[in-house]
Amino acid sequence: MVKVVPRTYLIYSFSPDNKPVEKVYPGEIVIFETVDALGGQVRDESTPLTSIDWSRVNPATGPIYIEGVEPGDTLVIDILDIEVEDRAVIVTIPGAGVLGYRDIKPKVKILPIVKGMLYFDNIKLLPKPMIGVIGVAPPSGSIPTGTSGPHGGNMDVVEITRGSRVYLPVFVKGALLALGDLHVLQADGEICVAAAEVSGKVVTKIDVVKGRKPLLPLVETQTYIHVIGYGEDLDEATRRATEVAVQGLMKEYLLSFEEAYMLASLVVDLRINQAVDPAKGVRASIPKNIISIESLLT
C-alpha cells in the first residue's frame, strides 16, 4: 500500500515528542511531499530576505511512525524517486557560507527548470535531485532540522539521491522519520550556504534491520557505502567518519587497528558534504567491493 504524507505536516526539529502523522509497516511505500528549505516563502527575486520568517525555514515533512521498529534497530530508507517542481531558489545571506567573513549582500535568485535542465541565467546545468534533510528522533530533547548528528538531519549529502539507500540508527519506538529540503542540484561543500532549493516529492520504501544499528548515518549507492560524519568543524566531522570507517574495516577483515588504518588510507575517500551548516559534514566513502553493510552495523 502507498501512503502519502502531505506537506501540511511540517516539523522544525527532530524530537521524541513530535506526534506521528502517519503509521506505516516495514516494506511499505511512503511518499513525502516537501516544502523547500525557505519554507516556500520566496515567490520571486524581489522577495526581500528580511521578509522571511526564519522560524519557518528548513521544514521536514513528517514524522511517520514505523510499526515494529525499536531503539537499537536500523531504519532503512530506499529513495525510489525524487520529483521536483520546475522552479528552484538560491540565496546569499550576510555572514553565511564558506566566505561568510566577506561583506555579503542578501540576494535571491530564481533558477527555472526547463525541459529537464536547470538554468542559472543562461548557464545550463544538469539536475541531480537530492534530499538535504532526512532524520529520525533523537533519544531525548529536540534537535533543529537545520543541523545534523547521529540521527541524520540536515546532512546535505549529494549522494542521498534517486536509487540510494539511507541507514539511520533508531533511538525511539517507531523511529519518527521525517525528511525535506530537496535540492535540484548541489555540489559537495554547499559553498554559499544554499543550493537549488526546491519543493517536491520523495517516493521511499521503508524497511528495518532488527537489533543492529550504525554508529553514524550510512548512505549506500551503486558503488559506495558513505559514512556520514558531523562535527563542530570539518576536522571533527572527518575524525568521526573515519573512526567508523576504520572500525568497519577491522570488522570486515578481522584486522588490527593499525592494519585497518593503513587499508583505509588506500581505499577510503574523504569528501566534504557541506562546510556551511551549524554542524559541518564529511563523508568517508568506502567502495562496496571492499566492505559489506553488515560490518558497519553493531
CA distances in angstroms from 240 to 49, 160, 246, 263, listed in the order given: 35, 19, 10, 17
* Nearest residue (CB) to Ca ion, 204 versus 274: 274
Taking CB under 5 A as the criterion, the residue among 154, 164, 238, 242 binding Ca ion is 154
Q: Helix, strand, or coil here: 238? A: helix
Give the pairing of strands 2-5 and 29-34. parallel
- Contact in structure between 282 and 237 (CB atoms under 8 Å): yes
Least distance from C-beta 186 to Ca ion, angstroms? 7
Q: Which stretch binds Ca ion (CB under 5 A): 22-30, 32-40, 97-105, 241-249?
A: 32-40
Give the residue closest to Ca ion by C-beta.
Answer: 132
Taking CB under 5 A as the criterion, the residue among 37, 75, 172, 227 binding Ca ion is 37
Least distance from C-beta 234 to Ca ion, angstroms? 16
* Nearest residue (CB) to Ca ion, 37 versus 297: 37
Q: Which stretch binds Ca ion (CB under 5 A): 8-16, 121-129, 146-154, 204-212?
A: 146-154
Q: Which stretch binds Ca ion (CB under 5 A): 48-56, 81-89, 130-138, 237-245?
A: 130-138
Taking CB under 5 A as the criterion, the residue among 59, 132, 138, 200 binding Ca ion is 132
CA distances in angstroms from 185 to 99, 122, 203, 217, listed in the order given: 20, 16, 18, 21
Q: Is 36 in the site for Ca ion (CB under 5 A)?
A: no
Least distance from C-beta 20 to Ca ion, angstroms? 23
A 10 A CB-CB count for 288 gives 13
- Contact in structure between 175 and 65 (CB atoms under 8 Å): yes
Least distance from C-beta 57 to Ca ion, angstroms? 9
Nearest Cα to 178, choosing from 2, 21, 3? 21
**Alpha helix locations (H) across 183-224?**
none
Give the pairing of strands 60-66 and 22-24. parallel
Least distance from C-beta 147 to Ca ion, angstroms? 10
Q: How many residues comprise the chain?
A: 298
**Alpha helix locations (H) across the chain?**
234-253, 257-267
Taking CB under 5 A as the criterion, the residue among 22, 159, 181, 207 binding Ca ion is 181
* Nearest residue (CB) to Ca ion, 53 versus 103: 53
Q: Is 156 in the site for Ca ion (CB under 5 A)?
A: yes
Contacts of 108 (CB under 8 A, 6+ apart): 42, 44, 45, 46, 47, 48, 49, 89, 90, 91
> Amino acid identity, residue 170?
V
Least distance from C-beta 193 to Ca ion, angstroms? 8
Least distance from C-beta 269 to Ca ion, angstroms? 22
Least distance from C-beta 37 to Ca ion, angstroms? 4
Q: Is 273 in the site for Ca ion (CB under 5 A)?
A: no
Residues that bind Ca ion (rule: CB under 5 A) add up to a total of 6
* Nearest residue (CB) to Ca ion, 187 versus 262: 187
What are the residues binding Ca ion (CB under 5 A)?
37, 132, 154, 156, 181, 197
